Amino acid sequence: MKTHDLIVIGAGPGGYTAAIRAAQLGLDVACIDKEPLLGGTCLRIGCIPSKALLESSELYREAGKSFAQHGIELGEVGLDLAKMLSRKERIVKALTMGVASLLKKNKITSYTGTARLVGDKRLTVTTAEGDEELSAAHILIATGSRPATLPGVELDGDRIGTSTETLSYGEVPPRLVVIGAGYIGLELGTVWQRLGSEVTVLEYLDRILPGTDGEIAGEAQKLFKKQGLNFRLGSQVSGARVAGDHCVVECVGVDPIECDRVLVAVGRKPNSHGLGLETVGVKLNDKDFISVDEQFKTSSPGVYAVGDVIGGAMLAHKAEDEAVACIEQIVNGTGDIDYNAIPSVAYTNPEIAAVGKTEESLQAAGIEFRKGVFPFRANGRARALAQMDGFVKILADAATDRLLGVHILGPRAGDLIAEAVLAIKHGLTATDIAHCSHAHPTLSETFREAALAVHDRAIHI
Ligand code: NAI
């Protein structure tokens, strides 16, 4: 039986980051994944391919609709969808190969197979060549999550599918119904709407992007509607099925909707079954997430878990942060996470990014705050880019001036939020931000102006 110091199950952002950090700290590490392409959902069928398509579809839309305002005449703009999809595949392949070479460089033993715990510090990995038994002082589970579905919605792996199928439609569906106005529904709905689909988003709640600051979500919805997305809020989907050459989606209390394809984007559930967790007493919570303590220890000694499989925000960078903290806990006895300083980003156009508390949550908690808002239309660079929609909103503690929450709807919001993460993580004040020079003309000036606006001192508005 081969023995390692650490065996990581899952080679997604949580798993491969943990494996690399552990190897850096001198452990003998093995990493097991059932897929030959490493990188997990994020790299293979999630963040990366969706961003590739968001970028391509946005350029297609701009070429057709926006280039003319720059004085660029293109004539008729054509779409070669097969080429667009193969570009996406090339990006995925390059990055997954990059993960494999990082594991190799760090002398991590990689297994392609299915892992199953079989006893104290022991597991079997089932590979194409057969079963192999391994043991390790520490076992880390980073098996991620998979799309959830709804009762009555019959996924057929083709026309009624999840994000996985939607990333590879072979033709632009004339009518696409998206169930769920969360991150996946809006990002992938936007891709196909830009490429020519008539997209209808059905959302159970009376708002989009639950959990996002309400003012930002409301403004974003108006902009997406203007771009052509149809929203039916307050729609409770009760079923979806293929009917001949089309699909039918049923909602409570209204007529069924006919369409060509359906994207089910109603959240994700943990990959916590089939791992033999019961053999070593690893406990799950009532939603099937693995229960862990602050050091990512499960209820079984020597077994740890990080990432989507333990719940919380299902974000690749949250899994990476947990992976590093968990390994440092194992090796050095220290390592923690400030969950309040983990950003979230929706890669729509404009992008939506946030860190810290929302206005609603501060109000609910009775925390007094001051609010500074600055619109992109008053920023020179945003005008030059012809991307003037949206605003930066800073919420600062009324007593201490420390930043409590930052919410951005606007161009490159996902990049701009990094400065806010730094500020929140290190307890900076709105005045600290206002005292920092920001290059002109850049989009980052909006962040400083919003910080100035906290004290009614914005210059350009
Ligand atoms: P989500 O939880 O973000 O949104 C699901 C939406 O479906 C909710 O608005 C919910 O109210 C709605 N819904 C649920 N049941 C419904 C019903 N019966 N009828 C109509 N609507 C219904 O889930 P999503 O978009 O599937 O994303 C899954 C996870 O992946 C999320 O945790 C998200 O954070 C993560 N993700 C993050 C991305 C990013 O950081 N850019 C991109 C994609 C996914």
Distance CA 395, CA 213 (A): 11
Which of 174, 192, 183, 190 is CA-nearest to residue 247?
A: 174
pLDDT of 273 reads 97
Residue nearest to atom 35 of ligand 1 (CA): 314
pLDDT of 308 reads 98
Q: What is the pLDDT of residues 293-312, one digit of tens each?
A: 999 999 999 999 999 999 99
Residue nearest to atom 38 of ligand 1 (CA): 183
- Mutation pick for ligand 1 pocket among 149, 183, 263 (CB with most ligand atoms within 8 Å): 183
pLDDT of 208 reads 98
Distance CA 379, CA 377 (A): 6
Q: From the CA of 370, how far away is ligand 1's center (Å)?
A: 30
Q: Is 62 left (phi over 0), alpha (psi -120 to 50) or beta?
A: alpha
Tokens of 103: 């594991």
Q: What is the pLDDT of residues 31-54, one digit of tens each?
A: 999 999 999 999 999 999 999 999
Are the C-beta atoms of 148 and 268 separated by less than 8 Å?
Answer: yes
Average pLDDT, the chain: 97
pLDDT of 86 reads 98
pLDDT-derived band of residue 122, with 50, 70 and 90 as boundaries? Answer: very high
Q: Is the dihedral of CA 24, 26, 32, 36 positive or negative?
A: positive
- Asked if the peptide bond before residue 301 counts as cis, ω within 30 degrees of 0, the response is no
pLDDT of 219 reads 98
Q: From the CA of 209, how far away is ligand 1's center (Å)?
A: 8
- Asked if the peptide bond before residue 256 counts as cis, ω within 30 degrees of 0, the response is no
- Report CA-CA distances (Å) from 275 to 36, 41, 115, 308, 391: 19, 18, 7, 15, 46
Residue nearest to atom 43 of ligand 1 (CA): 184
Integer-rounded Cα Rg, in Å, for the chain is: 23
Q: What is the pLDDT of residues 268-298, one digit of tens each?
A: 999 999 999 999 999 999 999 999 999 999 9
Tokens of 32: 């097991």
pLDDT of 211 reads 94
| Domains along the sequence of the chain with CATH | 2-147+269-337 (3.50.50.60), 160-266 (3.50.50.60), 344-453 (3.30.390.30)
pLDDT of 121 reads 95
Q: What is the pLDDT of residues 11-21, one digit of tens each?
A: 999 999 999 99
- Mutation pick for ligand 1 pocket among 41, 149, 184, 208 (CB with most ligand atoms within 8 Å): 184
pLDDT of 238 reads 96
Q: What is the pLDDT of residues 320-374, one digit of tens each?
A: 999 999 999 999 999 989 999 999 999 999 999 999 999 999 999 999 999 999 9
Tokens of 57: 């579809």
pLDDT of 108 reads 98
Return the residue matching tokens 């930043």.
403
Assess whether 426 carries a catalytic annotation. Answer: no
3-class SS letters over the chain:
CEEEEEEEECCCHHHHHHHHHHHHCCCCEEEEECCCCCCHHHHHHCHHHHHHHHHHHHHHHHHHHCHHHHCCCCCCCCCCHHHHHHHHHHHHHHHHHHHHHHHHHCCCEEEECEEEEEECCEEEEEECCEEEEEEEEEEEECCCEEECCCCCECCCCCCEECHHHHCCCCCCCCEEEEECCCHHHHHHHHHHHHCCCEEEEEECCCCCCCCCCHHHHHHHHHHHHHHCCEEEECCCEEEEEEECCEEEEEECCCCCEEECEEEECCCEEECCCCCCHHHHCCCECCCCCECCCCCCECCCCCEEECHHHHCCCCCHHHHHHHHHHHHHHHHHCCCCCCHHHCCEEECCCCEEEEEECCHHHHHHHCCCEEEEEEEHHHCHHHHHHCCCCCEEEEEEECCCCEEEEEEEEECCHHHHHHHHHHHHHCCCEHHHHHCCCCCCCCCCHHHHHHHHHCCCCCCCC
pLDDT-derived band of residue 3, with 50, 70 and 90 as boundaries? Answer: very high
Residue nearest to atom 16 of ligand 1 (CA): 204
pLDDT-derived band of residue 435, with 50, 70 and 90 as boundaries? Answer: very high
Distance CA 50, CA 187 (A): 8
pLDDT of 241 reads 97
pLDDT of 178 reads 98
Average pLDDT over residues 166-182: 98
Q: What is the pLDDT of residues 201-260, one digit of tens each?
A: 999 999 999 999 999 999 999 999 999 999 999 999 999 999 999 999 999 999 999 999
Q: From the CA of 203, how far away is ligand 1's center (Å)?
A: 10
pLDDT of 438 reads 98
Instruction: Tell me what percent of the residues of the chain surpass a pLDDT of 70.
Output: 100
Are the C-beta atoms of 363 and 215 separated by less than 8 Å?
Answer: no
- Mutation pick for ligand 1 pocket among 146, 163, 268 (CB with most ligand atoms within 8 Å): 268
- Report CA-CA distances (Å) from 56 to 71, 79, 192, 363: 21, 10, 11, 40
pLDDT of 250 reads 97
pLDDT of 271 reads 98
**Pocket of ligand 1 from Cβ distances under 6 Å:** 150, 179-185, 187, 202-205, 210, 235-237, 265-268, 313-315, 344-347
- Report CA-CA distances (Å) from 71 to 62, 63, 65, 455: 13, 12, 12, 41
Residue nearest to atom 30 of ligand 1 (CA): 314
Q: From the CA of 179, how far away is ligand 1's center (Å)?
A: 9
Residue nearest to atom 3 of ligand 1 (CA): 182
Q: From the CA of 252, how far away is ligand 1's center (Å)?
A: 20
209 CA: nearest ligand 1 atom: 9
Q: Is the dihedral of CA 224, 227, 229, 234 positive or negative?
A: positive
Query: Catalytic pick from 273, 426, 440, 460?
Result: 440
Q: From the CA of 150, how far away is ligand 1's center (Å)?
A: 12
